[in-house]
Amino acid sequence: MIDATSVLLSGRALVCVSILFAAAVARPASAQNIAAPKPTPEVKSAEIAPRGQREAKDITYGGWTKLCVRPAGTPMLCRTSITGRFATGQMAIRVDLIERDGDPIARLQVFVPVGMYLQKPVKLTIDGANVQSLPYTWCLSNTCIAADAADPKFINDMDAGTALVLEVTDSNLLSLTTSLPLAQFGPAHKGAPAQILEQDIEE
């Protein structure tokens, strides 16, 4: 999470931020990244029922924060995010809403730990009503990312909602849920960014 009072980031840190944003708009070309497998025709994810369910209660969430990047000559790209961490401090969950000036299509992306059943999409539910599923798109050594275009009504409901329930299925086919607070999402999303990074990205 980037605090509004943070000192100016170094050039290397700026590039790292750009890479984090790029995860929402492009698939990686690096051989170190592992593409998430697609469901096979014989085994459809919708036909696989979880063997049980439990709530992940060992995750602590921070607040929602809006960070924007405005490279020279390109529209500003903003990310409204919340991060949940285990007691060890390690990131457990991150949810991003990615929006670009002038682009009517926003994007939701979720970072989850490795070890999930990748053929079962991540399920997001707002206050027990509006639901959106996000397919897994790719994995790194310590996290997997699910992402898709965001339904405009889903974003509006996030602005006005109280709780966002995230549900994943692990490799043992157990359904895991965690509840993220939405009270601060609307003000963060609609308000001014906590920080705007203006930079040129050199290839």
The string of pLDDT tens digits covering residues 101-133 is: 999 999 999 999 999 999 999 999 999 999 999
Least confident interval from 6-15, 39-48, 87-96, 131-140: 6-15
Mean predicted confidence (pLDDT) in 90-110: 96
Mean predicted confidence (pLDDT) in 28-46: 45
pLDDT score, position 56: 86
pLDDT score, position 40: 43
Mean predicted confidence (pLDDT) in 81-88: 96
* Mean of the per-residue pLDDT values of the chain: 81
pLDDT score, position 73: 82
Q: What percent of the chain has pLDDT over 90?
A: 65
Instruction: Tell me if 124 sits within 8 A of 140, measured CB to CB.
Output: no
CATH topology of domain 11-35+51-197: Immunoglobulin-like (2.60.40)
If you ran DSSP here, which 8-state letter would residue 116 be given?
Answer: B
Asked if residue 9 has pLDDT above 60, the reply is no
Domain coordinates of the chain in residue numbers?
Answer: 11-35+51-197
Q: What is the pLDDT of residues 177-203, one digit of tens each?
A: 999 999 999 999 999 999 999 875 443
Cβ-based neighbours of 60, under 8 Å, separated by 6 or more: 84, 85, 87
